Amino acid sequence: MKVTLRQRKKNDKISLYLDYYHKGKRKTEYLRLYLTPNPKTKTEREVNKKTKQLAETICAQRQIEIQNGIYGFQDIEKLKGSFITYVTALAEKKNTSSGNYGNWNSMLKHLKIFCPTDVSFQDLDKSFVERFKEYLDKDAMARAGKKLSQNSKYSYYG
């Protein structure tokens, strides 16, 4: 996989972004860094130089992450997305089957209790999953105020 720093003129600025090429596919990561075209003052030139250095550092960092196997070929913007929103959408797709939908809906309620503030995909890790499983085992309560049954825990966590 190769990472390339590229520039694109956007309005009155030059936008810096990274291009990823892997097995014939191309992905783009916008850095939200901008250069001033045709800088007229020393300050503008200095800002452009520092911005470009930062972009090159990010590019080198991504290349190292790829070489170390840390960075998968992922969509960075999707990693910032809401996990709760994603699970909610999945649960809504299951609404044609009352039993299945009820299971998904109950799991979603427990997930929201366990994690009252939203969590992004990049925040999900083994520790998060283990803590959720522990919550289901020790703290989660069914409607009747009893602990969850083994079958419920199994269907929520698998």
Higher pLDDT, 3 or 121: 3
Rounded Cα distance, 134 and 1, in Å = 39
Each residue of 32-55: pLDDT tens digit?
999 999 999 999 999 999 999 999
Where do the domains of the chain lie? 2-73, 78-157
Length of the chain: 158
- Closest by CA to 121, choosing from 74, 77, 73, 81, is 81
Each residue of 64-107: pLDDT tens digit?
877 766 555 455 666 778 888 888 888 888 777 766 777 888 88
Q: Does pTM surpass 0.85? A: no
Please report the pLDDT score of residue 98 as a whole number.
66
